[in-house]
């Protein structure tokens, strides 16, 4: 049974489920209108690239207003604040395409491959809090779904190399996450997860938004677009890390991002 949560503030029960499994599934995080606009943006962004390839594109929020609205979406932001506090950045965003008839991906934990977060401590601390918004239907189990190993963010062991997706050696404890367009999957980067097989005739799109402590460098951009900074809101500007230390070079901190409450 999936750890299902509701859009909006994090309840104590949801927090317990997140702590236990490492993720929450939030149906109806986006309205049908928001899904439609984000899906159109995702398709536009991927259109110039070859068909039939798994691909992730970064920082689309700079040019696509529908995706920009996901940066501080009220369905999910209160849960992010419940888990990370008020001082965090949008470390990256990835518009992910799992093509029609695409094969399963390999299990992994997220983070910096060259310095794995699990080197910091076991259990792996929460360093990247990810939200995957489903832009296409994933309500059955062969639609390019995310596949999670519940609770694996707390595991001390690495995943055995013998575990191969969708074979006899795949783990029986895996959970295939299902959801309609507009559902969101909030997850801890330490949970072993992978892309599921897509047996559909259409491409699967998921829009991932990744939040992290302010000391982690952004990974989907070298710098923020000036044009975006000039037109976006003060909160979004703060979320992409455009804040000043009160003194340089050894600041005491920075102003709290201008949340509404």
Nearer to ligand AKG, 185 or 238 (CB): 185
Is residue 217 within 8 Å of residue 88, measured between CB atoms? no
How far apart (Å, rounded) are the C-alpha atoms in residues 22 and 129? 10
Among 14, 110, 175, 203, binds ligand AKG (CB under 6 A): 110
Q: Taking CB under 6 A as the rule, does residue 94 contact ligand AKG? A: yes
> What phi and psi, each to the nearest 5 degrees, are found at residue 187?
-145, 155
Interface characters, 16-55, with ligand AKG (x: CB under 6 A):
----------------------------------------
* Binding range to ligand AKG, per CB under 6 A, among 92-100, 171-179, 227-235, 244-252: 92-100
* Binding range to ligand AKG, per CB under 6 A, among 69-77, 94-102, 222-230, 240-248: 94-102
Residues 6+ apart with CB under 8 A from 154: 22, 123, 190
Answer positive or negative: Cα dihedral of 82, 84, 89, 91: negative
Is residue 135 within 8 Å of residue 64, measured between CB atoms? no
Nearer to ligand AKG, 88 or 133 (CB): 133
Nearer to ligand AKG, 195 or 232 (CB): 195
How far apart (Å, rounded) are the C-alpha atoms in residues 59 and 116? 23
How far apart (Å, rounded) are the C-alpha atoms in residues 20 and 154? 8
Interface characters, 115-134, with ligand AKG (x: CB under 6 A):
-----------------x--
* Binding range to ligand AKG, per CB under 6 A, among 74-82, 93-101, 170-178, 250-258: 93-101
Place of tokens 């062991």: 157
How far from 234 is each of 74, 156, 231, CA to CA, in Å? 16, 40, 9
Site for ligand AKG in 174-203 (CB under 6 A): 193, 195
Residues 6+ apart with CB under 8 A from 67: 38, 41, 42, 60, 61, 93, 95, 207
Q: How many other β-carbons are positioned within 10 Å of the β-carbon of residue 118? A: 19
Nearer to ligand AKG, 107 or 237 (CB): 107
Interface characters, 149-168, with ligand AKG (x: CB under 6 A):
--------------------
Q: Which residue is nearest to ligand AKG (CB)?
A: 195
Q: How many residues bind ligand AKG (CB under 6 A)?
A: 10
By the criterion CB under 6 A, which residues form the site for ligand AKG?
94, 96, 98, 110, 132, 146, 193, 195, 206, 208
């Amino acid at each position: 049974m999936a750890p299902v949560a509701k859009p909006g503030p994090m309840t104590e029960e949801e927090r317990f489920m997140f702590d236990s499994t490492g993720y929450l599934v939030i149906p109806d995080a986006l309205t049908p209108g928001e899904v439609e606009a984000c899906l159109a943006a995702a398709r536009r962004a991927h259109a110039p690239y070859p068909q039939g390839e798994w691909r992730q594109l970064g920082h689309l929020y700079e040019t696509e207003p529908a995706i920009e609205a996901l940066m501080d979406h009220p369905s999910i932001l209160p849960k992010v604040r419940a888990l990370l506090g008020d001082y965090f950045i949008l470390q990256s965003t990835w518009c992910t395409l799992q093509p029609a008839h695409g094969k399963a991906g390999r299990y992994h934990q997220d983070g910096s491959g060259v310095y794995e977060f699990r080197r910091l401590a076991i259990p792996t601390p929460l360093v990247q809090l990810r939200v995957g918004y489903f832009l296409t239907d994933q309500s059955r189990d062969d639609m390019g779904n995310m596949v999670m190993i519940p609770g694996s963010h707390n595991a001390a062991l690495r995943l055995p190399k013998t575990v191969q997706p969708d074979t006899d050696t795949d783990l029986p404890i895996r959970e295939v996450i299902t959801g309609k367009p507009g559902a969101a999957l909030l997850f801890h980067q330490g949970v072993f997860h992978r892309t599921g097989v897509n047996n559909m005739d259409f491409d699967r799109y998921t829009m991932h938004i990744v939040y992290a402590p302010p000391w982690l460098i952004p990974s989907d951009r070298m710098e923020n677009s000036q044009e975006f900074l000039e037109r976006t809101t003060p909160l979004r500007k703060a979320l992409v890390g455009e804040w000043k230390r009160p003194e340089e070079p050894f600041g005491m901190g920075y102003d709290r991002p201008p949340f509404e409450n």
